Amino acid sequence: MTTVNVQQAKTNLSSLLARAERGEEVIVARAGRPVVRLVPVDAVPPRQFGTVPIDLPDDFFFAPLPESELAAWE
C-alpha cells in the first residue's frame, strides 16, 4: 500500500494510476488524512439496485389503457 498527499498525486498521477492498475493499493491523503483509494475499475464490484428482478414488457409505460381503466379516471 502506498499513501501520497494531494500534491504528490497531482505530480505523479500517471504513475500512480499504473501502480493501481497493477493491483497496488494507492491512497491519496489530504493533510495526512486518507481521502480516496485508487483501485482498478475491474476491482470494483458492480452495484445492484433493488433485490427483486422485474421483467416488464417494452411498452409497459406507453401502451394504451383499456377502456375500463380510462372510464375509472373520468
CB 24 within 8 A of CB 46: no
What domains can you pick out in the chain, each with its CATH number? 1-40 (3.40.1620.10)
CB 38 within 8 A of CB 18: no
State the pTM of this model. 0.54
Give the CA distances from residue 19 to residues 8, 32, 37, in Å, rounded to whole numbers and listed in that order. Answer: 14, 21, 12
Q: In this predicted structure, what is the pLDDT of residue 4? A: 95
pLDDT by residue (tens digit) across 30-65?
Answer: 999 999 999 887 766 777 777 777 788 888 888 888
Instruction: Write out the three cell numbers for 53.
Output: 428482478
